[in-house]
Homo-oligomer: A and B are copies of this chain.
Amino acid sequence: MILTVTLNTALDITYRVRALSPHASHRVSEVLERPGGKGLNVARVLAALGHEVTTTGFAGGATGRVVRDLLTATDGVRDALVPLGTGATRRTIAVVDDLTGDTTQLNEPGPLVTPTEWAAFQESYAALLPSADAVALCGSLPPGVPVGAYAGLVRAARTAGVPVLLDTSGEPLRRAIAARPDLVKPNADELAELTGSHEPLRATQDARRRGAHTVVASLGAEGLLAHTPEGRWRAAPPRTLRGNPTGAGDAAVAGLLSGLIENLPWPARLARAAALSAASVLAPVAGEFDRRVYEELLGRVAVTGEVSAA
């Protein structure tokens, strides 16, 4: 199975309003609720692709119960979330304007995780690793979890011989990349923040020097840029799709993990990840994708690059 980790899970709520206007009152015409946080989005895309997924991290409070109930109703995802004693899973609210389709995002900060809860998570994670074919560590850290958390989780996966993908940002990324994860998937901003360079080719190279075995940068409409030990590739969808970009990076992560455990060659992995990412933009919520568009794009992603001389 594939293990995804979401330390800061969320109840993702999507509201439709006519047009958001500051300091006015709005009737919400439609309410959608989904399990959220990057690792749960990745898990749902993987499950939709037919993979067996176990998902862990923290869940607490009334919002945490809703997230767990929604996961129970999701075929192919096994819930191994660790309960919080008093903290509650955060909500994220996406307010979508009917008129323009534009989205305003409100993100709660997340629960305070106690040292005992963090220790319980690490124990549960260690117990899950032996049956994992790959592990993805995704998203921000909730308050109370040490900034070096992902570095420790990367080391534990490597010790267990399980390939580990890391998708986070800021200081947690900086610390964890030094622990030599198999793959990091920063977006353009995260990559620039890590390396100080806004030039993706140079920045992915720098991120590898910092410890990542492979770097796949997600560059929005420009697709993916991969820097691997076997070579460098760029994968771009045939056209730019308009829609909801939240979750496009998570769909790419799911594509990369799925290609990894199927042992696909890099160009095919990247084509799958780029097609999933583009097809997710058409779905109204993160963690979902338009299957027809995915299948149509899959053969039409342009992958260009070069195999390493070594």
Chain A positions near chain B (C-beta within 8 angstroms)? 15, 17, 19-29, 31, 62-63, 65-66, 69, 93, 95, 97, 102-109
Contacts and interface: CB of A to CB of B under 8 A. Distances in A.
Contact of A24 (B15, B28, B97, B104): B104
Query: Copies per complex?
Result: 2
Nearest to A19: B22
A105 B29 contact: no
Contacts of A95: 106
A216 B84 CA distance: 48
14 contacts: A15-B108, A17-B106, A20-B23, A22-B97, A23-B103, A23-B104, A24-B104, A27-B109, A28-B107, A31-B108, A31-B109, A62-B62, A62-B69, A95-B106
Contact of A105 (B24, B65, B69, B104): B24
A65 B102 CA distance: 32
A63 B109 CA distance: 19
Contacts of A104: 20-26
Given A62-B63, A66-B62, A93-B93, A106 B15 contact: yes
Contacts of A102: 22-23
Contacts of A17: 106
A28 B66 contact: no
Contact of A22 (B21, B31, B93, B108): B21
Given A17-B106, A19-B22, A62-B69, 12 more contacts: A22-B104, A23-B97, A23-B103, A23-B104, A25-B104, A26-B105, A27-B107, A27-B109, A28-B107, A28-B109, A62-B66, A93-B93
Contacts of A107: 25-28
Contacts of A27: 107, 109
Contacts of A105: 24-26
A31 B25 CA distance: 19
Nearest to A103: B23
Contacts of A28: 106-109
Given A62-B62, A62-B65, A65-B62, A106 B26 contact: yes
Contacts of A19: 22
A29 B106 CA distance: 10
Given A23-B104, A102-B23, A104-B23, A29 B109 contact: yes
